[in-house]
Chain A
């Protein structure tokens, strides 16, 4: 038997290879380097890999259409933009992770056991978080680039499995954290099953797993329609689960709340970019021809997601849960961009993802700063009057909240404006109306938090704001600056997106 090794186009795969290579090295470091050296070394490897990979993305930036690894990976404008966004978010996420007191000293120790106490007392620090995050980043970068259903599934699992583990690594309130991890894992596996089920049906429909072949089959229209519909819906469920769209969102608040806050920040910001990237590719490239079959379903999901996210957020008493529901609402806003199924929709979605990513990262980074003696304070009632003691923190948090609410002069406004415009132009009035109304509801709870921080007197003096380390500080400030700059001068970024945002078909 003659076996021809496939041509891999290493150049086009370089951003991915750097990250995965670094992840493997990080695992080896974990095994062979002394515990003292590990934190600094792991951080250096991770940041170095991210920078190197970003350089590769920049090197490829002119690429309009290329496929690699026997057509299973695409490199085009949107992919490179999303990979770049994920890498920038990952860079700052690593900086947040480097403040390691968020993580369990020894993840394997049972909560409350003597092993745990020993581990804490000996000052052990978990550094497995770095290779795990690197693998997740690699998976996220592959997800929107995948050009066939198998690669898509592999990418989904590569990004998900590390996240399940990472969610359970919290140093404090470990039971809550582990419960969140288990829930995330079980439901994730469950939704993966849906995804695979759908993939199988689509294969049955098109006779091929590549997205292009599915598109051709859809436009040919001669195959068994039922296979397409079943496959399409099941696949969507898997994806909608990942982006946290209602009614597949129920894991979001529990996991966001339970996971260590730096992990939540990373998960909320970067996963959304990757998952929406994949979703945009599937709906725009593979299933674009069947738009009339999936549009009503996705419209309903989008409206439900916006309303559920915005309304339930009002009743939240915990800042992380509130931000989780806010992220659900934002998933709904982003779905309107998918629904537009137009060039403008794609551009608007990419812009929205970038702005949302930054604001989310910054907001969660700020949550890590508000503490009392037993760790982070996430109870909103204890944030009352925060501005009196820490006007800086309150002001920065306000910036992010205003951006989430879509108030002009923040990036969130431009994002919402462009995405709703695209949806409106595509004729989908219902979803725009629902979007604007939910934005109004959402603005209520964001602004309520601002009012609580600034205009209500504090009753609780035990909460204090820690002085942020350089890493966290840098992350917060960059995120805040990006939020404002993208709100005031969005044009360069919008133009850049417009110049590269064409999917390879």
Chain B
């Protein structure tokens, strides 16, 4: 593979982030412009790389760069290197493209915040870390980026940390991510123990010689990592609370890019999963559970951002499920990831725009009838809405339809179960998204008394418009002529598997569209009339459970937090009494012997000389004993 200079991708945003932090208030005036320009220039570099890559023949598209040898001890060799191939360039364009739009949006959105410069500094830190994540050529380098985006996410969720509940949300995200990260680090250890390598290429070469048990274990650990970062079951609980961060952050990190890192991880590790069918099945199951889980939570949320967050969880469930189908599904997972990046980021920015006009109100029951006053927001949000529920020919139709088709094509009972799950998910998606649409933009006005809704400024709606165009067109562009499938094939489908088709595509499409119609129909019937400004309390047990996020926090509290607290109590006691006792004992005896030995240091030269003489004599005796 050829070598090329790729370090700019990471160095530029990292440098700008550091600069903004170091300069402090001095950079307040121009920091946001500078950060945006840096992000835009990285996007331009990415686009140029993409065009150059497209012009190269397929086998020489991937390029690498070795940065430096980080550790080199005996046979243990870790290089810090970058790898830009067909898969990573897709992410690079998504991250920097959507990232730049969100930078532009944030200039206006954050204009009243006195810490805007710090916000942009964190944003660029995130971009640098995310690019490192997708450009690292080994699991270890990916891990650095993985932790980096975790840190950036933590800083940004808690950006308004003067509110204690926001700081708690940041902490919750951090803890859930740590659990996932543990999976990643164990996976790296398994890889190193079995292959003696941590680079993607190194492992791929040796994957044939490994036992299936090892590969399954590694696959499950990678899946654990993915569930943490991508808010999948059972580590999904943090994503809803992460909405405490500023809305542009929710759009960029918690919708378009960082939360999809799990999908990237599994796709990147295709050589592991393709040889570990059990791990693959686990991936599909987790994806299927989450796509329903998220969709159901989405039906009950009145907080617009939390409803969108639940939807993100559900959509990523689709992607994860698709990756579990192996070479047949990777390309569609990535395709859905890209289209989702457009429409979900666009809808989050739309939600931000609504909040901007409604005094930061997030409760949809206090919205209603905003379409007339915020026409641009309504249209851009509406296009995203059509895309996510999968109305042809909008972006989501192509990508989601393909995933449903792949699920059915898995064959047998599995195919029917997972295909139906995906269809059911599509119905619920259409339902809850229509609900959001209706409650926000249509129906009766239920505003707070001091609300004066108004359209957002140009800097805010322009990025929304660009993303809306993406929501419309990206699906067809990626789908036509199997563009994305062929593009990614050298990375994820090297052996050109023949994919069986159990149901003709037209049938699946018809089913999917029917699902959309059913979901939209139910929602229209239910949310068409007048709504009250407060949530009804006399609801069924199911609604109540859904409103409580399907008891995810209660489950965590019951299963982990309480036992955890008990365990810590016991541990603290043991630590105090037993371990500290032992340590104190050892320390005391060490100090005791230190005092004893110290007495030999009398200060008299004669004693020292005697000590030297005795030492020499002892050496003589020792040598004589050894030699004789």
Contact = CB atoms under 8 A, between A and B. Distances in A.
A194 B616 contact: yes
A118 B75 CA distance: 67
Nearest to B71: A491
Contacts of B595: 315
Contact of A229 (B598, B605, B627): B627
A413 to B, nearest CB: 12
Interface in B592-607: 593-595, 597-598, 600-601, 603, 605, 607
B614 to A, nearest CB: 7
A467 to B, nearest CB: 24
Question: Which secondary structure dominates where chain B touches chain A?
Answer: helix
A225 B627 contact: yes
Given A491-B68, A491-B69, A229 B612 contact: no
> Which of B591, B616, B622 gathers most chain A CB within 10 Å?
B616
B626 A251 contact: no
Interface string B572-610: 000000000000000100110111011011010101110
Interface string A169-195: 000000000000011001100110010
Contacts of A229: 620, 623-624, 627
B597 A247 contact: no
Given A292-B626, A301-B619, 14 more contacts: A190-B609, A194-B612, A237-B615, A248-B611, A250-B600, A250-B601, A250-B608, A250-B612, A254-B603, A293-B623, A300-B622, A311-B590, A311-B597, A491-B72
23 contacts: A183-B605, A187-B609, A229-B623, A232-B623, A233-B620, A234-B616, A236-B619, A237-B615, A237-B616, A237-B619, A247-B615, A250-B601, A293-B623, A296-B626, A297-B619, A301-B619, A311-B590, A311-B593, A312-B601, A313-B594, A315-B591, A444-B587, A491-B69
Interface in B34-85: 68-70, 72-74
Contacts of A251: 608
Contacts of A230: 620
Nearest to A232: B623
Contact of B594 (A182, A312, A489, A494): A312
B614 A247 contact: yes
Given A293-B623, A297-B626, A186 B605 contact: yes
A233 B616 contact: yes
Interface string A217-253: 0000000010001101110110001000011101101
B77 to A, nearest CB: 11
A183 B608 contact: yes
A294 interface: yes
A294 B601 contact: no
Interface of B: 68-70, 72-74, 587, 590-591, 593-595, 597-598, 600-601, 603, 605, 607-609, 611-612, 614-616, 618-620, 622-624, 626-627
Bin chain A's interface residue count: 35 or more
Contact of B623 (A250, A297, A418, A421): A297
A190 B612 contact: yes
A299 to B, nearest CB: 10
A314 B608 contact: no
Contacts of B608: 183, 187, 250-251
A233 B615 contact: no
Interface in A473-505: 489, 491, 494
Interface in A411-430: 417-418, 421
B73 A421 contact: yes
B356 to A, nearest CB: 42
Interface string A289-308: 00011101100110000001
A494 B72 CA distance: 10
Nearest to B602: A250
A441 interface: yes
B594 A311 contact: yes
Contacts of A186: 605, 609
A187 B612 contact: yes
A187 B612 CA distance: 9
B623 A233 contact: yes
B587 A294 contact: no
Contact of A247 (B69, B611, B624): B611
Contacts of B72: 491, 494
Contacts of A293: 623, 626-627
Nearest to A294: B623
A187 B605 contact: yes
A344 to B, nearest CB: 9
A194 B620 CA distance: 13
Nearest to B609: A190
A190 B611 CA distance: 12
Contacts of A301: 619
B594 A315 contact: yes
A241 B591 contact: no
Contacts of B615: 237, 246-248
A65 B624 CA distance: 36
Interface string A307-348: 010011111000000000000000000000000000000000
Given A489-B68, A491-B69, A191 B612 contact: yes
Contacts of B623: 229, 232-233, 293-294, 296-297
B609 to A, nearest CB: 6
A294 B627 CA distance: 10
A314 B591 CA distance: 7
Given A187-B608, A241-B612, A250-B612, A233 B594 contact: no
Interface string A262-300: 000000000000000000000000000000111011001
A489 B69 CA distance: 9
A275 B615 CA distance: 19
